[in-house]
Structure 1
Amino acid sequence: MVMKVSKNKVAVSILAGIVLVLFFATVAGLFFYREMIKDLGTAQEEDFTEYPRLYAYIAEDPDSQLSSRIYKEISEYAVENNCYVEMTGQNLSTSYSKADRMNIAISSKVDGIILEGDDSAETAELINKATANGIPVVTVLSDCQASARKSFVGLNNFSLGSEYGAELAAIGDLNKRYPLNALILLDRDDGNADDIIHAAIQQAVTGRLIRLNSAVVDTSTPFTSEESVMNILDGLETIPDVIICLNDRTTESAIQCIVEKNLVGKTTILGYYDSDTILKAIDRGSVYATFAIETKTVAKQCVNALNEYHDTGFVSDYFSSNYVLINRSNITEYQTEEKEDGI
């Protein structure tokens, strides 16, 4: 006897089978999704580290090479010492002034501020405001003496100026070119620090046949810096024998300008900082020598100063950092050491 099954029953059976398969597939998918979310949460928990102290680093120019290098060293050293440092204002579409970034840090109630200082009344007022809110401030590279900052980490600018003067005299002795004409390019925004270096250079070359002149450069952006240096050189009746630059941006601008104006060999540069551009220029002869700050030392001193103040309530008023003179006689050795240090 042959059983007859209606088409409706077959369709229902097939549909039930499909529903059952979809049900189990959905359950399996939900289980897999839950496990994936749990694993992701575990990974996020493992990657997340909470630090007891948060510091802010506020640079004069957040996008400058020197400030970026110092921040890199500070942030790495801070993590090793159980604290965290954020750099305010770097790589943002909107540009915030240093005063704005100070106010942001104060409003955020950070545990400390590392600030590239200046001698303006506004900066002193903001440092005092931070101090009144229980936030210690350490200045770096440039100081703000008329403020309640806890410590200053930086070079001895007078000593640096004396070294510039010694190198300037060495150029004169090497080339037997007297009187030697030198132009010092001052940063429009660096104020007192550049003035001290200028005075020290002047004192170091007193009694020698060296004529010093100076001009102020707008270093607010790489473009304005290069344009400003070019305008200064175009306005001179005689190109100086030596151009003295006191920061990284001015040095690179001067290099570019003397190359574009075909002045290599007719003038030389005493620079500041150790970027690839500057080191290559030493190799090629357009830069006689450059001074580089020991950024690792600066980073350690900044973080240690804030930690020491938090731990003891006291900290030294001044930490002196060293600089390195780089010229053709030691550039290969210097570059080798930098590679070994991973810089």
Structure 2
Amino acid sequence: MNADVNAGVNEMRLHAREIIAEGVALLDLRDPRGAPLPAWEPGAHIDLIMGDVVRQYSLCGDPADRSRHLVAVLLEPRGRGGSVLAHGLAPGATVGVRGPRNHFPLVPAGRYLFLAGGIGITPLVPMLAAATARGAPWRLVYGGRSEASMAFRTDLTGRYGPRVAIRAGGLIDLDAELGTPLPDTAVYCCGPEPMLAAIEKACSSWPPGALHIERFTPKSVPAPEPRSAFEVELSASGRTLSVPADRSLLAVLEQAGVQVMTSCEEGTCGTCETRVLDGVPDHRDSVLSEAERAAGTSILVCVSRAKTPRLVLDL
């Protein structure tokens, strides 16, 4: 984790913790002094900082409520330990929060199709309310291993009725949902990686830009091109650093004392996104859209590299 982990961090207090489904805890985070929290829009997430452990969680409350941030955390006993720490927090505990940031915004569209798998429902919850407020037709298909494990299930079906389709104990029929591209429709998806990979394949015939995905883990991709050495120029100082084939761009920047805010270090959270002023990035992240990759104006320095011998970064 970057030494600058505390940059932009706000101290917050756990007001309440509620188990809302099997293995899912809803954390209610508030400013200790009662100050209003930063504004956010559907799709945003925060970094939850518990000691030296940083994890990203999607905000699932009401953006209009500036008094608190709500995040839902799935307990993963065999994970990397962050969810165990989060579930162990007691009301009154103090944690660090950085953000919100949004790499998954709800774009304007004539209609929406939302697909959620398990805890992937969390970023979609405020999107449903926003789409409803916009008056746009939408449908949610929500899959999970059992009804008891599906957070927000009762609330969503009670609030939105037949617009919510629950698929407990089975897979979502992607051929039925995505087999025929629909005009002026945005598809929003979040869930386990196998589901997202299947959705990407099923949406291959949809118009460019129709599919929007949020990932919690790095995207599964074929073996990337071999890593090669390149140079990076820092526009603020004019310094040029050499990035050897066996080291990451982030590691070289950190060794040179360049402050870059990072968190996941696996290309999924977007914290380290940096503007590219010249050169062509070799994108190896799971955040940027195809259009953003093609534009080549930003790079996730924790995992990505260069296709050209030299990159110029806004650092």
**Structure-1-length-normalised TM-score:** 0.32
More helix by share: 1
- Radius of gyration: which is bigger? 1
More strand by share: 2
**Structure-2-length-normalised TM-score:** 0.35
